[in-house]
Amino acid sequence: MITVTGQVGTALADDLAAYIQQVRRRPSDQLVFDLSDALFEETGGVQALMEVSAWSQEHGGEVRLAAPPSDFVGRMQVAKLDAFVPVHATVDDAVHAAAAGARQVPPTRGD
């Protein structure tokens, strides 16, 4: 699990992508991002997560987003990105789904 805190924007997107590549053990890993304390004021952070998700899927892995803020979920739904990346209401839900390899998309938490 990778916990993302604070403001995530375009300036941090490259650092986030590089960090993810460093901590990943295998391309097929199931990655869970705890977004409960993250703020997404720009699209760069969302774009970085989508790029990591696409790369993971190409290699048999999957990215799951846990407890994202409601405005983040709204942006994902408008862009129809929630169809490609599972979004879970809680960290526990995301971790359990990753462990089971199931692609479940329960409702997100409200802010």
Phi and psi angles of residue 69, each rounded to the nearest 5 degrees, phi first:
-65, 150
Between the alpha carbon of residue 98 and those of residues 7, 64, 94, the distances in Å are 25, 7, 6
pLDDT in tens, 64-101: 999 998 888 888 888 888 888 999 999 999 999 998 87
Report all structural domains of the chain as residue ranges with CATH numbers, in order of start: 2-100 (3.30.750.24)
Sort 6 into a burial class: Cβ within 10 Å, 0-12 / 13-18 / 19+: exposed
What pLDDT is stored for residue 96 in this prediction? 93
If one compares 81 and 9, the residue with the highest pLDDT of the two is: 81
pLDDT in tens, 18-49: 787 787 777 678 889 999 999 887 777 787 78
What pLDDT is stored for residue 27 in this prediction? 67
What's the pLDDT band for 106 if we cut at 50, 70, 90?
Answer: very low
Length of the chain, in residues: 111
